[in-house]
Amino acid sequence: MKEKSKVWVGKPKHVKPGGAKVVAGKAGAVRKRPASAGPTASVEASVAKITPARLAAFEILKLVGENKGHSDELLHSARVDGLSPEDRNLTTALVMGVLRWQIALDARVRGLLQRPEQRLAEPVSIALRMGAFQLLHLERIPAHAALSESVELCRAAGEPHATGMVNAVLRKLAAAQKPGVRIHESVAAFAERLGHPRWIVERWVAAYGRDVALKICEADQHEPVEGAMFAERGGDWPVMDDGSRLVGEIAAAAMPGAKRVWDCCAAPGGKTLVLAKRLGGAEIVASDVSAKRLAQTEARLRRYAYAERVGFAVADAAQAKGVDGEFDLILCDVPCSGTGTMAGNPEIRHRLKVEEFARQAERQRLILKGALKRLAPGGRLVYSTCSLEAEECEGVVDAVVGAGGVVRVPVDGVMAELAERGVLSGEMGSAVRDGALRTLPGVHDGDGFYAVILERA
């Protein structure tokens, strides 16, 4: 991780970037203390009053908001690893909780501002969100601790003028009664209550119905549970989301006698491990367009004895370059918007724009077409995404299959076989939709995934 993305724990960052600024006052212009001069004594005093967990969470949230890091990477940085187990747990709870509930928290805070339309400085907003999240969702945190440290975070970030407002708003929130349960909620109301952008919830309502969209939003507010879908777990099975593992299981069962297998977008490697464990006699090639991500994948797989025969190649699947020959089985788990994984990747909801779906779909079509060039006659390819959006799933497959050369194979038979073999711990018939896999958070265990089987004619 680059130096600028390090997490601030116990050592304050400069209060304002840039040089000195001139502020007009009654007695004329007053030059503010330049950031290069270092923190003031008051900033140092504020930092001393804040626990390392809250300092770390504040800085991570600031970096995520500035698009300078992903929450998962930052929460596993060396600085966070250096915290006590208790502080690490609190840092993780604060970061993930604030990101999951940010839209709802901002709505509650706006209602308590004297001027709800005013735009707050980002450090002030983060301090308010952290305080509000602790008051509303962390019952074991004393209200005075959540309130006082949020005020000190604001002061430590160089926003002392806002401390009175932060104190007043959080006191009002602590004293307010929890809102009652409405008999009927509009889509806009439950989207806000459950911390989701209205526009994407409206898409889910149109695609899956109101009740399912509500379940998806509710599931996104909790950490996904691993292992509930499968009878076999623990031991030397990789730790991964159930949706990801199910895609790997479907791919392995789609062509059990495969001799050559290509996982063409392999990072971070969980599905590759499933393929290696299930297809003991196959030659498996794991590739990724990113050399860095592939190196991380290789390091992960080398910890599993059954993955020792997996080969690795930096390759651009869209160009069908970087690997040689044809394959009996190809897993094409393409990069996507990730709307099915918002429980574990909550910041997606804050960054995503509707135009992203078309951009992703264009890239996905190129990858699928490139991968199909390496599919042997009679071979099978599993195309999958962790997106809930039709543009990235059915739309991509329809466009490519329509060009000819491949046919769809209904996933129903493979799912039935997995159930008969005892791989699945429960009935999963509702996860099959129009011959393809479609898991939905809140309806099925794990993340939301789409997968379809294609066969070379």
Q: Residue 57's CB: how many other CB atoms inside 10 A?
A: 30
Please enumerate in sequence order all residues whose Cβ is within 8 A of that of 211, keeping only pairs 6 or more positions apart, or say none.
Answer: none
Instruction: Answer whether 381's CB lies under 8 Å from 396's CB.
Output: no
Tokens for 3, please give them: 């130096």
User: Structure tokens of 189?
Assistant: 């109301």
Query: How far lies 18's CA from each of 33, 35, 36, 95, in Å?
Result: 11, 7, 8, 27
Active-site residue, selected from the candidate residues 217, 332, 336, 386: 386
User: Is there a contact between 6 and 79 (Cβ–Cβ < 8 Å)?
Assistant: yes
Cα angle vertex 363, ends 359, 365, to 5°? Answer: 115
Q: What are phi and psi of 223, to 5 degrees?
A: -65, 130
* Catalytic-residue membership of 386: yes
Nearest to 126 by CA among 104, 161, 99: 99
Phi-psi domain of 233 (left: phi exceeds 0; alpha: psi -120 through 50; beta: other): beta
Closest C-alpha among 70, 451, 431 to residue 249: 451
Tokens describing residue 270? 């969980």
| Residue (of 12, 11, 6) closest to 78 by Cα position | 6
Q: What whole-number distance in Å separates Cα of residue 148 and Cα of residue 49?
A: 9
Backbone angles phi, psi at 190, to 5 degrees: -75, -25
Alpha carbon distance 105, 121 (integer Å):
16
What is the Cα 305 distance to its own chain's centre?
Answer: 29
Residues 6+ apart with CB under 8 A from 269: 238, 286, 297, 298, 300, 301
Token readout for 371 is 């991968």
Residue 370 structure tokens: 């490139």
Alpha-carbon span 192 to 123, nearest angstrom: 22
What length is written for the chain? 457
H-helix or E-strand spanning residue 29: strand 28-31
Catalytically active residues are: 386
